[in-house]
């Protein structure tokens, strides 16, 4: 288990906001899976102690200056209970509708009757956390909390304190998983009060293995929910993990997510996030390139309208020489919606031969749409190739004129240009079936406009 030195809360946090969550935790902690395991109790206690010190971040915190969580303090979220919702159709990237390996979680709780491990090679484990504690306790003890530690991340600390359920994937050395693994998270909530859940995921891909994982986050109804998820990804030497996510929760939900990856030598971590839903969402992705010739692709697309708020925050740590990273994010913002992009690349002193690229492009469709962009490079080595940039613009009048001159009406012409802009972002997705499915979500969003 990772050790953490607890310190006084720095400026930019609200410790008083921790009290309601901690009171809820104290009521349920005895029933959390694995209660009584010394290492797990210690990890949860560590998270609780740090969240008690920090509370929620405020806009006085530099990392959160553009995203205000004050609404969470006002809503008095309660822990989610077991939901008995039924589903006729669950989202999938499988064009033929075939059943493959899939775990389903409803309000953060595992639903075995909706899940399947069909198509997995021998030795590959796809479990929920409670089962993993019984069947793979050493794997969890070795990895949980190692790279997503609660030191200065209050929402990671909160997730760790409530650590209860989520997906666990273990791919042994040299194994290739041909089938796409799907993780489905459904938010239902309660009409009685706002509800919160804290899914915790773990992906361990040993040396020279390969897996493709797709996360679906969807919402039913219109109850107010908070999903505060954390996923840790360990990519072994020469392994390849393609990790895709689509967030389509309803617009009364709050979606906060932290994904932390650690990539060994010649390993590949490929992450793409498509954000469409939620009233307020923040996807935070960190990747540590911890071995020579490691490679990280962290990309995405976001489309928001109305009063939605979307925050994309990334941190790529080039800790070893001869590694590459690529970030490409594109967003479309309409009405009074607001987007935030914060991307930081750090190159450590011994990380020579680093190649880092970062780009964020945003398209504003109204005079009241807004984006705050903050790309950063922090370089402590001299033999590197790094670049970053952010551009914001509107639809090109000349291109609109060209299309309208050929008999295309204004709405259709705008739609074509927006679709082409977003399709460029989706080209970052290496898996064709995933790219096609995500393209259909983009089309649905455009049609809804």
* Arithmetic mean of pLDDT, 271-297: 97
Q: Phi and psi dihedrals of 131, rounded to 5?
A: -65, -40
Q: Give the pLDDT of residue 414.
A: 77
Q: Which two tokens stand for residue 379?
A: 């370089």
Q: Of 13, 14, 12, 21, which is closest to residue 75 (Cα–Cα)?
A: 21
**Residues 158, 80: Cα–Cα separation, whole Å:** 15
In the predicted structure, residue 194 carries a pLDDT above the cut 70: yes
* Arithmetic mean of pLDDT, 151-180: 95
* Least confident residue range of 98-112, 285-299, 301-315: 98-112
The proportion of the chain whose per-residue pLDDT surpasses 70, expressed as a percent, equals 95
**Total count of residues recorded for the chain:** 449
**Residues 268, 323: Cα–Cα separation, whole Å:** 10
Which positions ≥6 away from 244 have C-beta within 8 Å? 212, 213, 214, 215, 271, 272, 273, 274, 429, 431, 434, 438
Higher pLDDT, 149 or 275: 275
* Arithmetic mean of pLDDT, 350-371: 95
**Residues 48, 50: Cα–Cα separation, whole Å:** 6
Cα angle for residues 14, 19, 22 (degrees, 5° grid): 120
User: Residue 81: which pLDDT band, with cuts at 50, 70 and 90?
Assistant: confident
Higher pLDDT, 432 or 393: 432
Considering the chain, what is the average pLDDT of its residues? 91
Q: Give the pLDDT of residue 272.
A: 98
Q: Give the pLDDT of residue 2.
A: 46
**Residues 6, 152: Cα–Cα separation, whole Å:** 9
pLDDT digits 0-9 by tens, 404-421: 677 777 777 777 788 888
pTM attached to this predicted model: 0.94
Q: Phi and psi dihedrals of 66, rounded to 5?
A: -100, -5
Q: Phi and psi dihedrals of 143, rounded to 5?
A: -115, -35
* Least confident residue range of 11-15, 212-216, 295-299, 337-341: 11-15
User: Residue 196: which pLDDT band, with cuts at 50, 70 and 90?
Assistant: very high
* Residues 284, 320 contacting (CB under 8 angstroms): no
Q: Of 328, 312, 318, 385, which is closest to residue 355 (Cα–Cα)?
A: 385
Q: Give the pLDDT of residue 417.
A: 83
Q: Which two tokens stand for residue 88?
A: 């006729």
In the predicted structure, residue 277 carries a pLDDT above the cut 90: yes
Count Cα atoms within 13 angstroms, Cβ side, for 337: 28
Radius of gyration of the chain (CA): 21
* Least confident residue range of 181-185, 198-202, 217-221: 217-221
Q: Give the pLDDT of residue 285.
A: 98
**Residues 392, 372: Cα–Cα separation, whole Å:** 10
Q: Give the pLDDT of residue 1.
A: 47
Q: Give the pLDDT of residue 89.
A: 78
* Least confident residue range of 136-140, 165-169, 250-254, 396-400: 396-400
Q: Give the pLDDT of residue 401.
A: 62
Q: Give the pLDDT of residue 7.
A: 52
Q: Phi and psi dihedrals of 4, rounded to 5?
A: -135, 135
**Residues 371, 241: Cα–Cα separation, whole Å:** 31
Residue that has been written with the tokens 């897996």 in this structure = 211
Higher pLDDT, 181 or 11: 181
Angstrom CA distances, 141 to 40, 107, 132, stand at 8, 25, 11
Q: Give the pLDDT of residue 398.
A: 67
Q: Give the pLDDT of residue 449.
A: 73
Q: Give the pLDDT of residue 76.
A: 81
User: Residue 121: which pLDDT band, with cuts at 50, 70 and 90?
Assistant: very high
Q: Give the pLDDT of residue 83.
A: 63
Q: Give the pLDDT of residue 387.
A: 92
* Least confident residue range of 90-94, 118-122, 202-206: 90-94
pLDDT digits 0-9 by tens, 86-107: 777 788 998 776 678 999 999 9
CB burial of residue 86 (10 Å; 0-12, 13-18, 19+): exposed
pLDDT digits 0-9 by tens, 3-52: 444 455 577 899 999 999 999 898 888 888 998 899 999 999 999 999 99
Q: Give the pLDDT of residue 402.
A: 62
């Amino acid at each position: 288990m990772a050790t953490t030195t607890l310190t006084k809360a720095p400026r930019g946090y609200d410790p008083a906001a921790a009290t309601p969550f901690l009171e809820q935790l104290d009521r349920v902690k005895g029933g959390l899976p694995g209660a009584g395991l010394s290492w797990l109790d210690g990890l949860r206690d560590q998270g609780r102690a740090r969240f008690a010190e920090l509370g929620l971040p405020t806009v006085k915190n530099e990392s959160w200056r553009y995203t205000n969580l004050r609404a969470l303090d006002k809503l008095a979220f309660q822990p989610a209970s077991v939901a008995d919702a039924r589903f006729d159709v669950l989202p999938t990237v499988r064009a033929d509708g075939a059943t493959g390996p899939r775990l389903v979680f409803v309000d953060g709780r595992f639903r075995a009757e909706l899940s399947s491990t069909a198509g997995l090679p021998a030795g590959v484990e796809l479990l929920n956390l409670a089962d993993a504690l019984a069947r793979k306790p050493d794997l969890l003890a070795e990895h949980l909390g190692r790279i997503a530690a609660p030191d200065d991340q209050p929402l990671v600390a909160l997730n760790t304190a409530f650590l209860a359920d989520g997906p666990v994937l273990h791919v042994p050395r040299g194994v290739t998983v041909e089938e796409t693994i799907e993780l489905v998270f459904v938010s239902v909530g309660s009409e009685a009060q706002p509800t919160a859940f804290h899914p915790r995921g773990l992906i361990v891909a040993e040396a020279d293995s390969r897996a493709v994982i797709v996360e679906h986050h969807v919402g039913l109804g219109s109850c107010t929910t908070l999903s505060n998820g954390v996923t840790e990804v360990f990519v072994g030497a020469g392994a390849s993990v393609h990790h895709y996510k689509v967030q389509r929760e309803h617009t009364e939900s709050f979606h906060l997510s932290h994904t932390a990856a650690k990539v060994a030598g010649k390993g590949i971590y490929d992450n793409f996030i498509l954000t469409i839903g939620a009233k307020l969402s923040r996807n935070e992705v960190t990747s540590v390139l911890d071995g020579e010739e490691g490679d990280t692709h962290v990309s995405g697309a976001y489309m928001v309208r109305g009063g939605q708020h979307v925050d994309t925050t990334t941190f790529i740590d080039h800790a070893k020489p001869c590694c590459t990273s690529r970030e490409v994010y594109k967003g479309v913002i309409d009405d009074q919606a607001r987007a935030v992009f914060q991307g930081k690349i750090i190159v450590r002193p011994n990380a020579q031969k680093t190649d880092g690229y970062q780009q964020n492009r945003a398209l504003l469709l109204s005079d009241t749409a807004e984006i705050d962009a903050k790309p950063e490079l922090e370089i402590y080595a001299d033999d590197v190739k790094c670049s970053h940039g952010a551009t914001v613009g509107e639809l090109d009048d000349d291109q609109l004129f060209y299309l309208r001159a050929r008999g295309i009406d204004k709405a259709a012409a705008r739609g074509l240009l927006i679709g082409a802009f977003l399709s460029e972002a989706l080209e970052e997705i290496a898996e064709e079936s995933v790219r096609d499915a995500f393209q259909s979500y983009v089309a649905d969003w455009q049609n809804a406009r």
